[in-house]
Amino acid sequence: MELKKDSNAVSIDMLLIVHSEKRHAAQGAHSDRQADPGAPPQRRGGLQGVGNGIRRWQKLERNDLHGNLVEKQHAQQTQVITSYDNQGTQLTVEVHPQDAMPQLLKKFSLAKRLQGDKNGNTRARQPGGKDAHAYPWDRSSLKSMPLDLRQFEKLDTYASQVTVKSGLDALVSDLLQEAHSDLERVRAIWIWICHHIEYDIEAAQEKDRQAFKPTTILQTQKTNCDGYAGLFERMCRIAGVQCMTVPGYSKGFGYQPGQSFSGEFDHAWNAVFLEGRWHLVDSTWGSGLVDSTTSKFTFLYNEFYFLTHPALFIEDHFPDNKNWQLLKPPQSLRQFENNMYHKSEFYNKGMLSAHPQTSVIKTVNGKVTVTIESCAPTLFMFMLNGKQEHGLLSLRKNGMKLDVYPPTVGTHKLQIFAKGNSEIYSSVLEYTLKCHYADIDVRLPAELHQPVGPSWFSEQMGITKPSHPEPVIYTSDGRCSISFGVEEGISVLASLHGDDGPVTEETQRRYIFQLQREKRTELKVQLPHAGKFALKIFVKKRQEPGNYVFVFNYLLCCTNSKVKWPVFPESFGNWGQDNELLEPLSGVLPANHNVPFKLKLHGVAKALVKGQDTWPLTLNREGYWEGSCNTSGCQEVYVMVLENANHNFYSYILKYKVNAQ
Q: Which residues are catalytic?
A: 225, 267, 282
Q: How many residues does the chain have?
A: 661
Beta-bridged to residue 594, according to DSSP, are 630
**Residue 465, helix vs strand vs coil:** coil
With b for 16 or more beta-carbon neighbours within 10 A and e for fewer, the 11-47 pattern comes to ebeebeeeeebebbbbbeebbeeeeeeeeeebbbbbb
Cα 413 to Cα 128: distance, rounded to the nearest angstrom: 40
Alpha-helical regions (H) of 411-490: 456-460
Instruction: Look up residue 228 and give its DSSP letter.
Output: H
**Residue 136, helix vs strand vs coil:** coil
Instruction: Look up residue 571 and give its DSSP letter.
Output: E
Q: How far is CA 131 from CA 186, 327, 364, in A?
A: 18, 8, 42
CA angle 248, 251, 257 (to 5 degrees): 135
Q: Which helix (H) or strand (E) holds 393?
A: strand 391-396
**Residue 224, helix vs strand vs coil:** coil
Q: Is 506 exposed, middle or buried (0-12, 13-18, 19+ CB in 10 A)?
A: exposed
Instruction: With both helix axes pointing from N to C terminus, report the angle between 168-175 and 225-238 in degrees, rounded to the nearest 10.
Output: 70
Beta-carbon contacts of residue 54 (< 8 Å; ≥ 6 apart): 26, 30, 45, 225, 226, 229, 245, 247, 265, 267, 268
Cα 188 to Cα 174: distance, rounded to the nearest angstrom: 10
Judge whether 392 and 471 are in contact, CB under 8 Å. yes
Judge whether 371 and 402 are in contact, CB under 8 Å. yes
CA dihedral 400, 403, 406, 409 (to 10 degrees): 120
